[in-house]
Structure 1
Amino acid sequence: MPFIIYSVLRLALILVLGVILYAIGLRDLLLPVVAIVLALMVSYLLLGRQREAAAMYLAGRKKTREVTGERFSRAVEDDAALEDSEVDTVVDGSARPVDQLESDQVESDQLESDQPDSNKP
């Protein structure tokens, strides 16, 4: 939540500075660029506490993921595991892992190349 608060405050600062710059007379394409650059400088000076809270919040989330070992939510991890298990089986019901099927294919290709071609004279 601190990250959202910090982001909203920065966006509000950009809008306020944009309105002030517009009232001063800056009306070109340069208006948003100048407003963003000024907001960056002003937010660095004024929003230090909120920036620190947002950084601590994000660092805490990263540590939590490192402890649990999950990159995504539990539902996404479960779905990925189910898909992985389905990929490891063949649709025809032989239920052999895909890597075993690949090795069988390589062996059959080698057997075909070892047999003499009957069409050659």
Structure 2
Amino acid sequence: MPLLTYTLLRVALVVGAGALLYVLGVRSWLLVVLAVLIGAGLSYVLLAGPRQAAADDLERRTGGRPTNLEKSLARDGDDEDAQFDALGQDYASVVEGEEAEADAAPQDAEHTGRGAGEHGGAPTGDDTDGPASPRV
């Protein structure tokens, strides 16, 4: 019953805001947009108690059961763990390996002697076949 009460109070706030805006002369599609925005803002400020009561009622009625999304996420995590176990790796070693590669990548590019043309910067002179041109 608290959920129905909260919903009806929210609808009443939107309708009330719309009626007030109508009296003030707002007659276009802006009436609906402003009424919804004003009603939402007022319900956030004024209906904290009924909102919490509705949330508590929903929690009580569902018994804290996981939702379908939570079940799906748990299954996906179990599937990933099974795949890593099948490969003989654990998640931590894979993540650490990716972090090590990311940390090493910029350093490797500096020491390979590759030109900046491959990396988007200005040429450094050591990427040409001939003698380096003097820098200005």
Give yes or no for the alignment of 1:31 onto 2:31.
Answer: yes
Partner secondary structure for residue 26 of structure 1: coil
Name the CA distance, whole Å, in 2 between partners of 1:16 and 1:41.
Answer: 13
Aligned to 2:62: 62
Name the CA distance, whole Å, in 2 between partners of 1:42 and 1:13.
Answer: 7
RMSD: 1.5
Structure-2-length-normalised TM-score = 0.46
Give the counterpart letter for 1:7 in structure 2: T
Gaps of 5+ in 2: 66-136
Name the CA distance, whole Å, in 1 between partners of 2:52 and 2:24.
Answer: 33
Aligned to 2:43: 43
Name the CA distance, whole Å, in 1 between partners of 2:32 and 2:56.
Answer: 30
Partner secondary structure for residue 40 of structure 1: helix
Consecutive aligned runs of 4 or more in structure 1 exceeding 6 Å deviation: none
Aligned to 2:129: none
Partner secondary structure for residue 6 of structure 2: helix
Percent identity over paired residues: 40
Gaps of 5+ in 1: 67-121
Structure-1-length-normalised TM-score = 0.52
Aligned to 2:16: 16
Name the CA distance, whole Å, in 2 between partners of 1:59 and 1:30.
Answer: 37
Partner secondary structure for residue 63 of structure 2: helix
Aligned to 2:126: none
Name the CA distance, whole Å, in 2 between partners of 1:16 and 1:39.
Answer: 8
Count of aligned pairs: 66
Deviations 1:4-55, CA, capped at 9 Å, x for gaps = 0000000011111100000111100111111001100011110110000000
Greater relative contact order structure (CA < 8 Å, 6+ sep) = 1
